[in-house]
Amino acid sequence: QVQLQESGPGLVKPSETLSLTCSVSGGSISRYYWSWIRQPAGKGLEWLGRMYSSGSANYNPFLKSRVTMSPDTSTNQISLKVKSVTAADTAVYYCARVVYSYGSWYFDSWGQGKFVTVSS
Amino acid sequence: QSLLTQPPSASGTPGQRVTISCSGSSSNIGSNTVNWYQQLPGTAPKVLIYGDNQRPSGVPDRFSGSKSGTSASLAISGLQSEDEADYYCVAWDDSLNGHVVFGGGTKLTVL
């Protein structure tokens, strides 16, 4: 069974770039789509984007091009970068695998989440 | 940003049947399938329903999904205390080059 684990700094300064890595074990990142989703404390879920293992991606249009995702097939990892962060980017960040069945794309496996605080 | 509309809260007693609604538009629920996720306190979400009404293996048949037009519903029958959680509906939205939209979430309390 595939397992996902997010890692990276838990504290980022305003205006800097948030960088996280999702390490995938028990399966290859190849031939799958992968997403990042975040959740501010006590609030709902927000989709950041979706990336195929080849590197092609599409992002949440409401994040104004601040988000970038990229794969590393040699290390079986997915990375996330969010630039020019503000306090509003403080959240738990999840990576998730995307699968397709019965005409539907859905997130079938999730990491445990990484809490990131944006503060000086 | 666009969101699917869910009631913020729902409640029921053990054994009862509860439904949670999710309202969208022609660009999301009206033209794409709906998935439902359950998030227990302090944990990552878990898929309950995909493709409007399909249950992944391991999800009890007490959980069921349906869709009509631009609205969807999640029904939980035989409510149990361990069903107390947040529930989210999700769909693809065809606008703005396509993106995923989440509902705001419904907190289910088992009384």
B52-86 tens-digit pLDDT: 999 999 999 999 999 999 999 999 999 999 999 99
Q: In the prediction, which pLDDT does A70 show?
A: 95
Q: Which of the four pLDDT bands, split at 50, 70 and 90, describes residue B3? A: confident
Q: What is the dihedral of CA A103, A105, A106, A112, to 10 degrees?
A: 160
Out of A50-59, A73-82, B36-45, least confident range = A50-59
A28-31: long-range contacts (C-beta < 8 A, 24 or more apart)? A28/A53, A28/A73, A28/A76, A29/A53, A29/A71, A29/A73, A29/A76, A29/A77, A29/A78, A30/A73
d(CA B54, CA A106): 11
Summary mean pLDDT of chain A: 95
Q: In this model, does residue B1 exceed pLDDT 80?
A: no
- Whether A46 sits inside 8 A of B52 (CB atoms) is no
- Whether B100 sits inside 8 A of A44 (CB atoms) is no
Q: Which of the four pLDDT bands, split at 50, 70 and 90, describes residue A103? A: confident
Residues of A in contact with B50 (CB under 8 A): 101-102, 104, 106
CB under 8 Å to A43, separation ≥6 — which residues? none
Summary mean pLDDT of chain B: 96
Q: B47 in contact with A at a CB cutoff of 8 Å?
A: yes
Closest CB to A61 among B90, B92, B99 = B99
Q: Which chain A residue is nearest to residue B1, measuring alpha carbons? A: A62
- Which of A59, A105, A115 to substitute to test the interface with B, most B CBs within 10 Å? A105
Cross-strand bridge partners of residue B91: B34, B101
